[in-house]
Each structure stands twice: as structure tokens, then as C-alpha cells.
Amino acid sequence: MNANDEISLTRDLLQLDTINPPGNERDCAHRIGRLLEDWGYAVSYYEYADQRTSVIARLGGSDARAPLCLTGHIDTVPLGAAKWSRDPFSGETDGDKLYGRGSSDMKAGVAGILLAAKNLARHLRPTAGVVIVLTAAEEGGCIGSKHMIQVEGLLGRAGAMVVGEPTSNYPAVGHKGSMKFWAKFRGVTAHGSMPHLGVNAIYKAAHAAAKLEKFEFHDHPHPVMGGPSLNVGTFHAGQTINSVPDEAVLGVDVRSIVGMDHAAVLKRLRDMLGDEAELDVFQDMPAVWTEPEHAWMQRVFEICAKTLGEKPEPRTVSYNSDAGNFLKAWRGAPTVILGPGEPAMAHQTDEYCRMSRIRESVAIYEEIIRDWCAV
């Protein structure tokens, strides 16, 4: 893997197919790990399932202060149904644009983190240091990080966190929380010509979907984050058109704001849908929020202002990240979402990232590390 510069490294990462599903992040993770080992980092790996590999790398350390964490994910979403005009795995360029699946979300961010880690490695040993966490299976539910926080001692300490998700290098002070669940409805199968002999699970699910569409949270919007939302994203039911379906499943996605009680929201949803709905929660991550006035966040704002040309205003991003899981282990750690990718390009056909932003991200990450570690 070519780590001579951030563009070559991003291109090499793009050439590794880590589309999730199935993910198969092991090869990518181990190639990254070998680079970090060459730079002097202590590297370990964690697999929650075969080929679903995350990387943890550490350098430096102090009892007086916890290290700075820089984190991102190495999996990507599928290519989608639309035809790409560029090869999604070769790292084609056009002007300032570097194309490829995962270029913005978020292999450019991973490359920026790695190059900053390389450039400062020789300075970190006598300092608070850094921990780099690059996860498998972030897309589709942050499953990799969910498993990592369940392993005692795996992550160690972190005093602050930089999440390299796409923000066009504009620092965001948080993002909404996420609670995702399946709502299953059961019926009784019968021949499609005799529906009166069965119980149609699709009708039950359809009535439930109509109720969910009208669900109201009764929460006041957050002044920066806005209001919560609910979306029915999937509907699976039926095996043949000439049978009464005996099972139907809705996939429901709730996005929460700071201070919302997920358990209370889930209880209201259970009460509204009734006993016929079997709810299976598979993601439960609170909103991520750091007060913009926090001293460290103000330092990050000052660092980013040099690139942006103006001091940032408090913003949040609409998507979710592994930070919601990691903050269960690193409670209270101030967190910034900050990466070179273009947010609007995430999951898009012909996804690209601007190469100038990748270069900028290396300098930004370096200065954040220097500031934390006093080097």
C-alpha cells in the first residue's frame, strides 16, 4: 500500500473492495495495520465475525492524560442500481475530483488520519499519544463498533475523539441518535383464492405503517440539531402472489435528538402498535453532542478556521456514526465529526472526494494531534 502521499493512499484504499454486505474488511485492515506497525504503532485486530476485521493502533501514552482517538470505518455501501460512468475501484481523477466507492464515505478520511499518524509518529512516544480505531461494519448499523465496546479493555482510554466522516473539513459538534428496529406481524397462510381462510399479515403491517407515519414525538426541536424523525424504510412480506402471507416485517428508523429517552419512545411505539407487533431493536445509539463552548471544541474551531477562512459556527450532521457506540465506553469525551469527504456524495453513484480537501485534512488532523499531545 502506497503511503507516500494522501492521494496515493486513498486510491489504494479505494482499490480494495470492502462493500458491505459482505464487507470482507480483513485484507484492508491488515494492510493498514502493517503500515501503522512500520510507523511504530502497537497494532491489534478485532473480528466479531469471519473477515469482519477492525484495527486498533496506539502510540504514546500517559497516566496524566488519556490519548486522542481518531476513528473512521473501512467498509462502504454497495454500488447501487445506477450505472457508474467511472470505475468505482480504480481511483480515477478528473481535475480536483477523485472518484470511487467510498472516496467521500470515508476512505479519504481514513487516508487523512493515517498520513497524519505517520507524519507525527516520531513525536508521540513521550506524550498522551493517540489511539486510531478503524472499524468494520459501520454501514448498516455500526455493528462493528457495537461488538467492540462489549469487549472489556479492548478500546482502553480516550480523552477526546475525532470522527473522520465526510464534512468537507467543516467541524460538526454532533449528530442525531439512531434507534432501528424490526416490527414483525404474524398471520395465517391460506390459498390466495380463499383469503377468508387465512389472516393476512401484510394488512396488519400496512395498518401499522399508516400509524407510524402519523407518530408525533412531542419533543421540542434542538436549536442546532433540529427535531427527531421516524421513517419506515423496508417492508418484507409474502412468498407467492397466490398465497395469504403469514408474516410481514417493517424496518423502522428513528433518529433522536439530545436528551431523548429511547426507552420511553419505544414504549410509546409498542403501545401504539399493540400486541400484534413483535419489536426487535437492533441498533440503539444516543445522539452525539459536545457543547460548542467546550474548550477543546473551541481549539478545534480555531484550527479549522485557518483552512476555512472563518471561525466555524456550531453545526451537526444528519447521518449517524460509530461515535454513538464509542461514547458508551468513553463517556464524556468531547467529539468532533470532521473529514474531507463531501457529505452530499455519500452513497451516491459516481461518488467522489476533492483531492484538495484530502490534503487539507492531513494538516488539520496533524494540528489537532499536536495540540492534544503538546508536540
Q: Delineate the domains of the chain, giving CATH numbers in brackets.
A: 6-175+287-373 (3.40.630.10), 177-285 (3.30.70.360)
Nearest of 48, 69, 284 to residue 164 by alpha carbon: 69
d(CA 142, CA 334): 20
Nearest of 295, 265, 292, 297 to residue 281 by alpha carbon: 265
d(CA 357, CA 107): 13
d(CA 254, CA 180): 6
d(CA 224, CA 175): 10
Q: Going edge to edge, which strands form the sheet with 229-237?
A: 229-237, 247-256, 177-186, 278-285
d(CA 11, CA 39): 20
Q: Are 251 and 233 in contact, with CB atoms under 8 Å apart?
A: yes
Residue with cell 402498535: 273
Q: How many other C-beta atoms lie within 10 A of the C-beta of residue 96? A: 12
What is the reported pLDDT for 287?
Answer: 97
User: Per the structure block, which three cell numbers stand in for 287?
Assistant: 445522539
| Mean local confidence (pLDDT), 1-14 | 94
Q: What is the pTM of this model?
A: 0.94
Q: What are the two backbone dihedrals, phi and then psi, of residue 131, each rounded to the nearest 5 degrees?
A: -125, 130
Q: Is residue 3 pLDDT above 90, yes or no?
A: no
Segment 302-321, tens digit of pLDDT:
999 999 999 999 999 989 99
What is the reported pLDDT for 334?
Answer: 98
Share above pLDDT 90 across residues of the chain, in percent, rounded to a whole number: 97
Q: Is residue 41 pLDDT above 90, yes or no?
A: yes
Q: Are 257 and 221 in contact, with CB atoms under 8 Å apart?
A: yes
Segment 161-192, tens digit of pLDDT:
999 999 999 999 999 999 999 999 999 999 99
SS3 141: coil
d(CA 160, CA 334): 5
User: Per the structure block, which three cell numbers stand in for 46?
Assistant: 478485532
What is the reported pLDDT for 140?
Answer: 86
